[in-house]
Amino acid sequence: MDQIVNLTKRRGFVFPSAEIYGGFRSTYDYGPLGVLMLRNVKEAWWRSMVQLRDDVVGLDAAILGPPAIWEASGHLANFTDPLVDCRNCNERWRADHLVASDKDGKIHCPNCDSTDLTEARAFNMMFKTYAGPVEDEGAVAYLRPETAQGMFYNFANVLQTSRKRPPFGIAQQGKSFRNEITPGNFVFRTREFEQMELEYFVPPDEGPQWFEYWCAERMQWYRDLGIPDDMLRLRPHDPEELSHYSAGTSDVEFLFPWGWGELEGIANRTDFDLTAHSKASGERLEYYDQASGERYVPHVIEPAAGATRTMMAFLIAAYDEDEIGGERRSVLRLHPRLAPYKVAVLPLSKKDTLTPVAREVLQLLQPHVMCDYDDTQSIGRRYRRQDEVGTPFCVTVDFESLEDRAVTVRDRDTTAQDRVPIDGLVEHVRAKLAL
Ligand code: ATP
């Protein structure tokens, strides 16, 4: 874990936010490489959930919303965590994250080991703010704690404009905000984070089968992008763990350095949300099948993933150390789709004679894939820098290139090198990346 945190800071993936002011409470910024990788995670999700399907459309709803949404969804009443205070050291904890000690069967404060804890009280996790200049009750607004509600209150709009019929889905990615009591474990739990959610609307009697379908689909997505089987599992919720609206929930879990943790929750939410918004707003949120004259409130299956948390899992799964020619290296074996840079163009020396060809090669590749260009330090060090950030291919321009119009393409994982004509380079790289 320390190695990953250190690497992400040192190489510009993730910075503690407002670091020059001492940081800000488990808030993070995504640096030059982090922004590329986070976009790639979201893009890989969007590709699989929207682009490659004809039954899912996208949405980008507002982050700010009126209390009415959260009243209807149940978040104002129920989106709480149980908070306990330690009377000894004044630290605060989530009651459901504390476990009784084996020693005496009592719950101890993880910070100071005291057993003098307050009773748990419900703490609402939504961020409240005011829209407009007057801070009164009528101006209260909330930052969304999940993207899902945007899909529910836009159900009728999307149904009408997209001309889809159940089974069909609405997908959305974006920031969500939760006033977590105990954020931590790097970007695993933060107060500001990014989600990737699908609401998939189905005829009521088809809920259970689509739930199974989405569990399998989503597990496969993580596998396809390189999470090994022994670090991934699907964990069905126990009946007492189920949310009040859910007829079934399974979590996709990843083996983090501290144990299993949720990457995504897949829930059969039945008609809970559409019915709740329909009652509260007075609008009909249902599907009318003109052919059969049938009218019903669809049930919804929700695969809800975290982009930032998932990016961290991909980094952990990809991190490796090996030995090349007797020298140790660290390497991120990222799936090419997720790697920040796909190709690094490296002129063997900074000599003026090589620069024009190297820049020509760079410009040839840039329209197709995200590239880095590096002409500092020795070639060996530059290879290791690229290995460490997961760049699948390094293209080296050397003095022979001036003669034979060819370059060397080095593979991150095997370090094998191929000589490839510049004219065929784009095709070669595209085929190898298999994006
Ligand atoms: P947890 O039990 O860890 O608090 P949750 O079950 O409340 O999570 P959901 O409401 O199902 O989470 O949200 C869907 C996904 O959003 C989670 O699986 C996770 O990937 C992501 N997510 C939720 N809360 C956070 C957070 N505070 N920081 C980062 N990602 C989060």
| Ligand 1 centroid to residue 26 C-alpha, Å | 15
| Ligand 1 centroid to residue 188 C-alpha, Å | 9
**Along the 435 residues of the chain, how does pLDDT read in single tens digits?**
899 999 999 999 999 999 999 999 999 999 999 999 999 999 999 999 999 999 999 999 999 999 999 999 999 999 999 999 999 999 999 998 888 888 899 999 999 999 999 999 999 999 999 999 999 999 999 999 999 999 999 999 999 999 999 999 999 999 999 999 999 999 999 999 999 999 999 999 999 999 999 999 999 999 999 999 999 999 999 988 888 778 899 999 999 999 999 999 999 999 999 999 999 999 999 999 988 999 999 999 999 999 999 999 999 999 999 998 888 999 999 999 999 999 999 999 988 899 999 999 999 999 999 999 999 999 999 999 999 999 999 999 999 999 999 999 999 999 999 999 999 999 999 999 988
Atom of ligand 1 nearest to the CA of 191: 27
Ligand 1 binding pocket includes 265 (Cβ within 6 Å): yes
Query: For atom 23 of ligand 1, which residue has the closest CA?
Result: 306
| Ligand 1 centroid to residue 236 C-alpha, Å | 16
Q: Which residues contact 4 (CB under 8 A, 6 or more apart)?
A: 186, 312, 315, 316, 319
End-to-end CA distance of the chain: 29
Ligand 1 binding pocket includes 180 (Cβ within 6 Å): yes
| Ligand 1 centroid to residue 362 C-alpha, Å | 40
